[in-house]
Structure 1
Amino acid sequence: MKEITSIQNPLIKQLSQLKDKSRERRKTGTFLIEGAREIALALKGGFQLETILFYAELFTAKQLEAFTSEGIQLIEISKEVYQKLAYRETTEGVLAVAKSKTQELSNLAFDKENPLILIAEAPEKPGNIGAILRTADAAHVDAVIIANPKTDLYNPNIIRSSVGCVFTNTIASGSTTEIIDFLKVNKVNIYCAALQASVPYHTQDFTKATALVVGTEATGLSEAWRKNSTQNIIIPMQGEIDSMNVSVAAGILVFEAKRQRGF
């Protein structure tokens, strides 16, 4: 088993770049996962691990057995190296390098006639993306689609805030135009959360093939979505403000759809 104790080690410098820079993740087609639960979910989601790094005082060789298989490189690292690579202050002492998956719309297929799809247009904050993915996992939606993504899904903040649900959801991404075309070809009804020409969300039938589309709090959805929606929907507000956090709105809409479907 290899051991690395210096943060000046070339591999550690490369992994530090992988943690901090989207460009490096895209170039190498790999990313860092931190934490035992997240690594376990990645394996369950079919992600391929290349390397596991562990700090033995926090993560034992016995615990390591759950993640090891043929072809995975094991590296024991020092406390200094671990602190260099770790993103969280409290974690279990284990990290992994995994291969990225592509999120092509063309790879998205459904095994039912009435899929439930959650779409977020141009979400910027990793925390919101992570919360949306947690909601999607909790509701067991058929797919999450990110329109016009502003960051890559393997940003460590997204992995952290999603508590690994970035690995448990079926995820695709594309431009707004590409996604609208995809939905129309697949005969999926489009319900856009928007203020304009909207009706209360609970008055609509979400039991058929349904895409629930949410935008950012700052700008909402683009005109293309509003023009191509089956129906614009709104969550009635009784307070002084006219919007709520995008992940909260997504949760309300998704679980109304699940309620209608008897789940």
Structure 2
Amino acid sequence: MSTTLITSTQNPFIRQLAQLKDKSRERKKSDTFLIEGKREISLALKGEYELETLLIYPELFSLKQLNDLTNKRINVIEISKEVYQKLAYRDTTEGVLAVAKSKNHSISNLKFNTETPLVLVAEAPEKPGNIGAILRTADAAHVDAVIIANPKTDLYNPNIIRSSVGCLFTNQITTGTTSDIIAFLKEKNINIYCAALQASVNYHTQDFTKSAAIVVGTEATGLSHDWLKNSTQNIIIPMQGEIDSMNVSVAAGILIFEAKRQRNFL
């Protein structure tokens, strides 16, 4: 396999990739993004993402490892330590990065392979770490889809890829406005269970074995009125401490795994 070598951080292609790493605007304009790490790249390939280029730092990643990673013909560039440090997001990683094509995450593309889908909806999550944790929970529970309503950051933010440990690529993920998502769920006859304080019942009293969307909001503001107005039933996680909310990814995990328990999939 022939490779190109780039040693300068001022190389135009490297400067373009640095923009992809740092700026959402550049990722959206080019429909490409950076993936860092062997496991993450492997999961992207498993999720049928198209890789345009692989960049390897030979001191940390060998061509033999590249052959183990993929048997597809992909453009490979060897890079110097300085270039690698400019592009890498993590302090410790395996010395390999990929330039990948973005996917279309429109709600109109969402399809289910079951008649009783289980969906996790998160409205307006802002922190990439929380989004990544939600995606890890969704992957662990093998939900049918994760829907981000009114997203505050693009899905290919490197912090989301890192905190999801590549689960961004293994989940069926879609985004849209709250109104579009509610319309979609109603069209598909999916019950809407909103995690909220108002007019709520304990979450474990509900039947999640039928088509269900579990909807969580931010800790600061909760869910918007549109969700509460269209909810099949508001649900609450009983708490015995002094506070009345918990981290959104923790709450999502509790609710989703109760649904999975009822479906006898644990």
With the length of structure 2 as denominator, give the TM-score of the two structures.
Answer: 0.98
Structure 2 unmatched ranges of 5 or more: none
What is the identity, as a one-letter code, of the residue corresponding to 1:262?
N
Distance 1:70 1:36, change over 3 A: closer
What secondary structure sits across from 1:150 in the alignment? coil
- The answer on 1:89 being equivalent to 2:96 is no
C-alpha contact 1:32 1:96 (8 A) present in aligned 2: yes
What is the identity, as a one-letter code, of the residue corresponding to 1:121?
E
**CA deviations over 1:183-239 (Å, ceiling 9, x no partner):** 000000000000000000000000000000000000000000000000000000101
Supply the distance in 1 between the matched residues of 2:179 and 2:84 (Cα, whole angstroms).
Answer: 43
Q: Percent identity?
A: 77
- The answer on 1:193 being equivalent to 2:195 is yes
What secondary structure sits across from 1:66 in the alignment? helix
With the length of structure 1 as denominator, give the TM-score of the two structures.
Answer: 0.99
What is the identity, as a one-letter code, of the residue corresponding to 2:233?
Q
- The answer on 1:214 being equivalent to 2:219 is no
Aligned counterpart, 1:137: 139
Q: Which runs of 4+ in 1 moved over 2 A?
A: 66-71
What secondary structure sits across from 1:208 in the alignment? coil
- The answer on 1:122 being equivalent to 2:111 is no
What is the identity, as a one-letter code, of the residue corresponding to 1:60?
S
What secondary structure sits across from 2:139 in the alignment? helix
What is the identity, as a one-letter code, of the residue corresponding to 1:102?
N
Q: 2:12 aligns with which of 5, 10, 13?
A: 10
Supply the distance in 2 between the matched residues of 1:257 and 1:45 (Cα, whole angstroms).
Answer: 25
Aligned counterpart, 2:227: 225
| Counterparts of residues 1-263 of structure 1 (less than 5 Å) | 1-263=3-265
What is the identity, as a one-letter code, of the residue corresponding to 1:77?
I
C-alpha contact 1:50 1:71 (8 A) present in aligned 2: no
Note the C-alpha offset of 1:181. Answer: 0.2
What is the identity, as a one-letter code, of the residue corresponding to 1:11?
F
Supply the distance in 2 between the matched residues of 1:176 and 1:105 (Cα, whole angstroms).
Answer: 11
What secondary structure sits across from 1:190 in the alignment? strand
**CA deviations over 1:65-118 (Å, ceiling 9, x no partner):** 134455521000000000000000000000000000010111111121110000
Distance 1:205 1:68, change over 3 A: closer
Q: Which region of structure 1 is more displaced relative to structure 2, 87-96 or 66-75?
A: 66-75
What is the identity, as a one-letter code, of the residue corresponding to 1:83?
Q
What is the identity, as a one-letter code, of the residue corresponding to 1:7?
T
